[in-house]
Structures are given as C-alpha cells and as structure tokens.
Amino acid sequence: MTDTNKTTNQQWGGRFSEPVDAFVARFTASVEFDQRMAKQDIQGSVAHGKMLASIGVLTKEELDQIIQGLAEIEDEIARGEFEWSIELEDVHMNIEARLTQKIGITGKKLHTGRSRNDQVATDIRLYLRDEVDFLLEEVTRLQQGILSLAEKEANTIMPGFTHLQTAQPVTFGHHLMAWYEMMQRDYERLVDCRKRINILPLGAAALAGTTYPIDRYMTADLLGFERPTYNSLDSVSDRDFAIEFASTASIIMMHMSRWAEEMVMWASAQFNFIYLPDRFCTGSSIMPQKKNPDVPELVRGKTGRVYGHLMGLLTLMKSQCLAYNKDNQEDKEPLFDTVDTLKGSLRAFADMIPAIESRKDHMYEAARRGFSTATDLADYLVGKGIAFRDAHEVVGKAVGYGVQEGKDLSEMTLEELQSFGSMIQSDVFDVLTLEGSVAARDHIGGTSPAQVLKAVARAKSELQDRLV
C-alpha cells in the first residue's frame, strides 16, 4: 500500500520551507494523462528554441544540442522506453528534466522566455489542431460512405415520418442525403472551430509576457499558426477553443445519435427496413435468436458522455478570474475523452453505413400503409380548381372512409373516390401510387430519384474539391 505520509520535492522548490506532501504531489500531477501531448510539447520546444537562437539567447551549438536531445527523447517515448515520473508533475517537466539529464545545463536554458502556462496552452492547441485535422478526414470518409449508399438507394421507396407517424413517401436515398447534409454542416463547424484553435499563445509566459525580445511571429510561423495571440492574460487562461470544440463534437454526436436511433428501429423485427452486417452486432447471452445493433446503440449512449464533457468544461471556466488557475488542469481529461469518443464513433459509422442493406419490400409495404399519398390527392384536387382548405376536408373524409373499410387511397375504386368529390377522374391513380408521389417532387431538395442522384453528384463534386 502507498505511504501517503512520504514527501517529495519539486523542480522549483526554492521558495518553500518544506517539500510537497507525496499525496499532494500525486493529486496535483497531470503526467498520467497529459503525456499524450508529448509530441506537441517537443514540437513547441523546438520552435521556441529556434526563436531563442534567432535573438541570441541560445548559440547555434546549444540549439543543435537541444534539437538533437529532443529528437532522442521523442524516439524514447515512441519506443515506450521513456520513464514518466509523477514527481515531475506533468509532460513538460518530464521532458525538460530528461533533456537536462541528456545535454546538461543547456537543457535548462530552453525555458527562457516562457512559462508552463503558455507552454501548456500551446501544447493543447497543437494537439487539438492535429486531432481536428484527423476528424475532418473521418467526417469526409463517413460522407463518402453515405453517398455510396444513397446512390444505390435512390429509387428505394420508404415511408417518411413526422411525429414518427407515416407522413409521405420518400426514397431511402433521399433520407440518407439528409444525414449527409447534417454531416456537411458538422464539417464546416470543425473547419471554423480550427480557425480559433490555430492561434499561438506561446510568448505570453506566465501572464504578462516576457522581458526578452522574443519574436512571436517567427514562432507562430514555425508551428504553422495563423498568428500569435494579442493579449498575454487571455492567452494563458483562454479555453474557449476547447469549449467550442466540445460543442462542435456534441452536435456531431447528436446527429449520429439520431441516425443511430433510426438504425436501431429499422433493424428491429417490427420495422425490418435494413440489415446490419453481423460484424457490427452482437448476440445475447441467453436468447439465441438475438442480434443486437450494438454499434449504433453505443454511439447513441456515448453522446451523453460528450454532452457531459461540454457541461464540465463550461462549468470549469465559469468562475475563473484572469489569468491562469490550477483549475485548468481539469480541461484535459474531458477534452481528450471527447476526442477519443468522437474519433471512435465516426470510425464505426464510416465503416458500417456503406455496408447497410435495405429491405426494399418491407420499406415499400410500410410506405403503402398510413395513407401516405393523402397530400398528393389534396394537391390533385387543387389542380382541379378546389381551394386547398376544401381539398383538405375532402381528403380527410376519404381517409376516414379508408380507415373504416381498411383500404388505402390507392386501393379504392374510382366510384368510391368520386363519392367524396365528383371532380375526381381516372387520372387520380397516377398521383396515388408511391412511385408517382416521389417522382412528382422533382425540384432541388425534393425526394424524386432524379433529384437524389443530382444531390449525390453535387455532393461528390464538393468532396472531390475538398480532397484535391
């Protein structure tokens, strides 16, 4: 069992009369989770070192030593040979201590003109920028999968719902393109979020800047940032970009959770609209017939987890005075878990959605039920000169009769239909068929197969421009 009465020393303990309690050292340490930013920490240190050399704080030889030492440390970490120490508290001090161990006092010079406050703010931005770039690729891959399936299902008729009640017939391809449009907005939100991530806080030091003649524009350029931040107090305490990312991630997860809900229903015996391949499902420990849609269910469940991280980050920041506070150490775990959860969910859906198979006959039969062409009949009557409100009443009576007799509108005889309006002629059956209903909505954004294929082609062109 760990002895919580032991004590430990910190790298900067000169001001203190006694060492930090061992439990406190562990309680305040972040290295167990922030070590995932080691690559970005080294990347930032190399750029900072080059800037220090450019203003004469480091010699060329010292800079070469630092760069070589950091490269060796990065290799050690990649090979799993780096020894992380809780006593050194965080990723930054672990790497700095190892660098000093390797190259001597020159390693201590690297921290000139910066603080852990602006260092960690830079590392988080570098890390999150890398992750957003990967997420943009996964969103694109998911969109490609949606387009592939939508193109195959452009003519597949299914019921469209409002209030989860049969409303009007649509095509499965059109429904899938609704998913695509949601994800397109999500892509744009990630791109926009990245703009505010891509600003350099390094050089703000602890909170007030530094007396050294640093060149922040040079550092920003070396690290690929758009520009340096403009206020040192804000630079070290800003976590808006992380909150904005968590908000964007929450919206993406919300969209995928909606799709997940539909897939869970559609894969059930009651709907039987789609077939999910076995590799995305599991069985039951007691019921041998069960095939559970675990992937969409888990994505649906993980959505709440991401929402929680957004609320946690908002609450973390709501009472903090400027500038940096130790509270901000709590930003990383929710941020990291949000990234991991979103990456996993996107990957699962990008793999699964193109593999979905439609049960066309079941979809078609479901679309026939529920008087889904009632609006088409009303539009037909308007075309015969009837005011829409009056047409609405006529069709309502016809539907009431259909409910009583157990007949869909398309199953009624002409004589039965004419009992509700003498203006109804034999051409009414052209609009009462499911095929005629979807084909009639032949405008941009409509559900006709022709429009679905145009929407797919347009989206493919947009993705091709993105990938060039």
pLDDT per position as a tens digit, 116-156:
999 999 999 999 999 999 999 999 999 999 999 999 999 99
Q: For residues 273 and 295, what is the distance between their CA atoms, to the nearest angstrom?
A: 17
For the whole model, what pTM was predicted?
0.90
Q: For residues 202 and 209, what is the distance between their CA atoms, to the nearest angstrom?
A: 9
The pLDDT tens digits for 373-402 are 888 889 889 998 989 999 999 989 999 999
Please, what CATH class does the domain formed by 366-467 belong to?
A: mainly alpha
**The pLDDT of residue 112 is above 90:** yes
CB 36 within 8 A of CB 336: yes
List all residues 6 or more positions away from 269 whose beta carbon is below 8 Å from its beta carbon. none
Q: For residues 439 and 245, what is the distance between their CA atoms, to the nearest angstrom?
A: 41
What integer is the mean pLDDT of 61-71? 98
Fold of 17-112: Fumarase C; Chain B, domain 1 (1.10.275)
What integer is the mean pLDDT of 224-241? 97
Find the radius of gyration of the CA atoms of the chain. Answer: 31
What's residue 35's pLDDT? 94
Q: For residues 442 and 447, what is the distance between their CA atoms, to the nearest angstrom?
A: 7
Question: What token pair was written down for 391?
Answer: 């047409």
Identify any residues that bridge with 170 across adjacent strands, giving them in sequence order: 158
- Average pLDDT along the chain: 92
The pLDDT tens digits for 313-344 are 999 999 999 999 998 988 999 999 999 999 99
Residue listed under structure tokens 């989860």: 164
What's residue 76's pLDDT? 97
**Which residues are tagged catalytic?**
163, 284
**The pLDDT of residue 449 is above 60:** yes
Q: For residues 180 and 457, what is the distance between their CA atoms, to the nearest angstrom?
A: 13
**To which H or E segment does residue 165 belong?**
strand 165-171
Q: For residues 96 and 234, what is the distance between their CA atoms, to the nearest angstrom?
A: 25
Q: What superfamily in CATH does domain 117-154+169-210+226-360 come from? A: Fumarase/aspartase (Central domain) (1.20.200.10)
**CATH 1.20.200.10 region(s) of the chain?**
117-154+169-210+226-360
**CATH 1.10.275.10 region(s) of the chain?**
17-112
Say which residue, 20 or 412, is predicted with more confidence.
Answer: 412
Q: Is 157 helix (H, G, I), strand (E, B) or coil?
A: strand
**CATH 1.10.40.30 region(s) of the chain?**
366-467
What's residue 5's pLDDT? 44
Residue listed under structure tokens 């500038």: 323
Q: For residues 446 and 448, what is the distance between their CA atoms, to the nearest angstrom?
A: 6
Question: What token pair was written down for 444?
Answer: 């941009």
**To which H or E segment does residue 404 belong?**
helix 388-405
**The pLDDT of residue 443 is above 80:** yes
Tell me how far CA of residue 327 lies from CA of 28, 229, 276, 323, in angstroms.
Answer: 10, 22, 44, 11
